[in-house]
């Protein structure tokens, strides 16, 4: 099924094998219009890719280019890209010639002009009146578009992180402690600060982590993201997975506690 069979029904749901017509290029009169006055949520892979393209740390990227938003229902933080503070509110990485970090652009920009909530059904995010690239002769299937835009690399990381971010996890009350919110933000969105926390604090003396995992997370941001998701499951929900407290550390802490009880100083 394709878009010409459905007239201008841009709200219709599409599955992976459905087709549509779209092409964005400088010759389209609305070129880069979609890159202004929009809310772009960034996922962890976006932050990692964009800060590498800019040659800065993830911590610096978050401070300079993003704003934190906290979900009222869960207390879980997320980050959005800050638009320029001008009348047009353009993306800071967009010029009249296009995106200056196009190869490292965020997930939402890659998926445009489509949108999805569950990753199964897709819809047009805008109409042909808003985006003149829709209806151009080039035809895609939804899955072909996902593959061509580099979206398949997001599937597995999204799976690993989704249950940590899921509202169903927070069944009692939303997280209100800013320190816990910052812990989530660090583990998922700030790999440089999280890596420093792991290797320059007492973290590894408290938890037992296999040596091969330690070596992977030293350099690989995706491996670190998986590790961060595991750590949050452990810290927030008590799901041990690959993480366990070091027995010697626990025994030492017990001795310190009992010693403190005997010695009231």
Q: pLDDT tens digit string along 98-137?
A: 999 999 999 999 999 999 877 778 999 998 899 999 989 9
Phi, psi of 208 (to 5 degrees): -95, 115
Is the pLDDT score of 163 beyond 80? no
Mean of per-residue pLDDT scores for the chain: 84
Q: If you average pLDDT over residues 53-61, what whole number do you get?
A: 98
Q: Answer for the pair 229, 187: CB distance below 8 angstroms, yes or no.
A: yes
pLDDT in the model for residue 65: 98
pLDDT in the model for residue 117: 78
Q: Where are the domains of the chain?
A: 3-153, 166-248
pLDDT in the model for residue 210: 86
Phi, psi of 74 (to 5 degrees): -115, -25
Q: If you average pLDDT over residues 168-182, what whole number do you get?
A: 76
d(CA 128, CA 7): 11
- In 3D space, the residue among 223, 76, 222, 221 whose CA is nearest the CA of residue 163 turns out to be 76
pLDDT in the model for residue 235: 77
Give Dmax (Cα) for the chain.
Answer: 82
Is the pLDDT score of 8 beyond 50? no
Q: If you average pLDDT over residues 229-244, what whole number do you get?
A: 71
Residue 3: count of CB within 10 angstroms of its CB: 21
Q: How far is CA 233 from the centre of its chain?
A: 17
pLDDT in the model for residue 60: 98
d(CA 33, CA 121): 25
Q: Residue 164 — pLDDT band, cuts 50, 70, 90?
A: low
Cβ neighbors of 172 (< 8 A, separation 6 or more) are none
pLDDT in the model for residue 255: 45
Burial (CB count within 10 angstroms: exposed 0-12, middle 13-18, buried 19+), residue 161: buried
pTM for the full model? Answer: 0.83
- Counting every residue written for the chain, the total comes to 265
- In 3D space, the residue among 3, 222, 181 whose CA is nearest the CA of residue 75 turns out to be 181
């Amino acid at each position: 099924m394709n878009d010409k069979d459905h007239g201008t029904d841009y709200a219709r749901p599409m599955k992976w094998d459905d087709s549509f017509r779209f092409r964005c290029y400088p010759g389209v009169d609305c070129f880069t219009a979609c890159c202004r006055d929009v809310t772009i949520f960034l996922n962890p892979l976006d932050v990692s890719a964009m800060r590498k393209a800019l040659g800065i740390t993830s911590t610096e990227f978050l401070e300079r280019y993003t704003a934190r938003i906290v979900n009222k229902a869960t207390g879980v933080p997320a980050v959005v890209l800050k638009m320029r503070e001008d009348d047009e509110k353009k993306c800071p990485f967009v010029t009249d010639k296009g995106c200056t970090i196009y190869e490292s652009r965020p997930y939402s920009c890659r998926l445009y002009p489509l949108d999805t909530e569950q990753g199964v059904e897709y819809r047009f995010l805008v109409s042909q009146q808003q985006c003149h690239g829709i209806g151009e002769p080039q035809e895609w299937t939804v899955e072909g578009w996902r593959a061509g835009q580099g979206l398949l690399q997001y599937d597995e990381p999204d799976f690993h992180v989704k249950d940590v971010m899921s509202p169903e996890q927070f069944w009692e009350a939303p997280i209100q402690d800013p320190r816990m919110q910052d812990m989530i933000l660090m583990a998922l969105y700030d790999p440089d600060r999280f890596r420093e926390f792991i290797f320059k604090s007492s973290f590894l003396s408290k938890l037992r982590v296999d040596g091969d995992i330690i070596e992977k997370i030293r350099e690989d941001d995706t491996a670190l993201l998986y590790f961060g998701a595991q750590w949050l499951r452990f810290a927030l929900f008590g799901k041990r997975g690959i993480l366990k407290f070091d027995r010697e550390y626990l025994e030492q802490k017990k001795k310190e506690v009992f010693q403190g009880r005997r010695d009231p100083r």
